[in-house]
Amino acid sequence: MKQGYLILETGEVFEGKLIGELNGLVGEVVFNTSMTGYQEIITDPSYAGQILTFCYPLIGNYGLNDLDDESFQTAVSGVITGDMCDEYSHYQATKGFSERLEEAGVPGLVEVDTRALVKVIRKHHTVKGMISTEPSLDHLKEYGKDVSQDFWVEKVATKEVISFKNEGPHIVLIDYGYKKSILHALLNENCSVTIVPYHYSYEQIKALKPDGVLLSNGPGNPMKLQPWFSEIKVITEHFPTLGICLGHQLIALAHGAKTKKLAFGHRGGNHPVKEILTGKVQMTSQNHGYVVIEESINYNDFQVLFRNVNDKTVEGLKHVSLPIQSVQFHPEAHPGPSDTEFIFQQFLHQVTTAGGRTYAKA
């Protein structure tokens, strides 16, 4: 393997061995603490435009299969890991980790001191970087293409309407970069699902006659979607609605709240979240860099439903009178614990209780 480098805009350089294909992209360097699930993670559209560091030291030991992709593409702009194993062992595996990166045209850097890298990210907070064959900051500035602020939702979301028929309630899934497991969670509950592009208006969604609406996860700053906040507000006022991750932030913003960027995000499968009404703590799968600012929430309309145990940030909201609920974590998991899959049952209970009727306030 060739010698390679991760060049950070803050001046630090990390040495390693190159795998995959160089793409010259400059992205935000982030880290994930999950011990397993690397296939689901690198195909999660929420990582679009980011260079992902795996904290767990060994990646690739069970290979990749044809079942566990969360989207049709390898979403990340780059991968950093300590030790990469291509002599995989699993009965479903069809290819190795480096082979997947090569096919996707994504660069990887192995044999990196990831503990030191994570410390640097935690120190500097938001850090941009590029994987290169040259250990020079000038090389990053001269040849790197900065994609960290691109409107990635537009690039990863569907361009057409996709329908799945079933016997249960009809759910419209607004796609900002949805994970396959969210779709499967709805289908497993016998729902009919129609996936629509992120820019669909209330009138377009109304024409589909849904019983409920789900706003999906997705990449980037939620304020990039500000032109659609008014439509999102009307949609949530007329249909039972569930927001997940980015969808949670969009519901909050559409109803007047504000968001902010975390120092280094929540990314992993072991984040404890407390349900305020019951006092129960669930372990959750998370992948986000932004959170809703609690002080900006209108408590005449919303109550905080979940809170992060570690940093006390808002992890879920519920409208006081309308069937609107949102969660910052991933109840579908994949990868991660399934402690909060009951969120889908709660949502569908709201859907069936509303009976598919509009109920907007006069």
Residues whose CB falls within 8 Å of the CB of residue 287, separated by 6 or more in sequence, listed in order: 32, 41, 44, 46, 47, 217, 245, 265, 266, 267, 330
Beta-ladder partners of 316: 306, 327
Angle of helix 246-254 relative to helix 229-238, nearest 10 degrees? 90
Low-confidence ranges of the chain (pLDDT < 50): 356-362
The pLDDT, as a whole number, for residue 354 is 82
Query: Would you say how long the chain is, in residues?
Result: 362
The token pair at 72 is 């049709």
Closest by alpha carbon to 147, among 171, 129, 133, 124?
129
**Domain positions in the chain:** 3-150, 153-354
Is the domain 3-150 a CATH 3.50.30.20 member? yes
The answer to whether 3-150 and 153-354 have equal CATH topology is: no
Instruction: Classify burial at 214, counting beta carbons within 10 Å of its beta carbon; exposed 0-12, middle 13-18, buried 19 or more.
Output: buried
Closest by alpha carbon to 27, among 54, 52, 50?
50
Q: Decide if 348 contacts 333 (C-beta within 8 A).
A: no
Cα 96 from Cα 87, distance rounded (Å): 8
The pLDDT, as a whole number, for residue 355 is 65
Closest by alpha carbon to 186, among 209, 170, 202?
170
Cα 334 from Cα 221, distance rounded (Å): 23
Residue with tokens 């503990």: 115
**C-alpha torsion angle, residues 338, 259, 29, 45 (rounded to 10):** 50
Over residues 27-68, the pLDDT tens digits come to 999 999 999 999 999 999 999 999 999 999 999 999 999 999
| CATH code assigned to 153-354 | 3.40.50.880
Over residues 224-263, the pLDDT tens digits come to 999 999 999 999 999 999 999 999 999 999 999 999 999 9
Residue with tokens 């960290």: 148
The pLDDT, as a whole number, for residue 359 is 42
- For β-strands 241-244 and 259-275, DSSP reports them as unpaired
Q: Decide if 301 contacts 319 (C-beta within 8 A).
A: yes
Cα 163 from Cα 200, distance rounded (Å): 15
Q: Is the peptide bond before 45 cis (omega within 30 degrees of 0)?
A: no
The pLDDT, as a whole number, for residue 117 is 98
The pLDDT, as a whole number, for residue 360 is 44
Residues whose CB falls within 8 Å of the CB of residue 82, separated by 6 or more in sequence, listed in order: 54, 57, 58, 59, 110, 111, 112, 113, 114
SS3 per-residue string spanning the chain:
CCEEEEEECCCCEEEEEEEECCCCEEEEEEEECCCCCHHHHHCCHHHCCEEEEECCCEECCCCECCCCCCCCCCCCCEEECCEECCCCCCCCCCECHHHHHHHHCCEEEECCCHHHHHHHHHHHCCCEEEEECCCCHHHHHHHCEECCCCCHHHHHCCCCCEEECCCCCEEEEEECCCCHHHHHHHHHCCCEEEEEECCCCHHHHHHCCCCEEEECCCCCCHHHHHHHHHHHHHHHHHCCEEEECHHHHHHHHHCCCCEEEEEEEEEEEEEEEEECCCCCEEEEEEEEEEEECHHHCCCCCEEEEEEECCCCCEEEEEECCCCEEEECCECCCCCCCCCCCHHHHHHHHHHHHHCCCCCCCC
Instruction: Write out the catalytic residue numbers.
Output: 245, 330, 332
Task: Count CB atoms within 10 A of the CB of residue 103.
Answer: 12
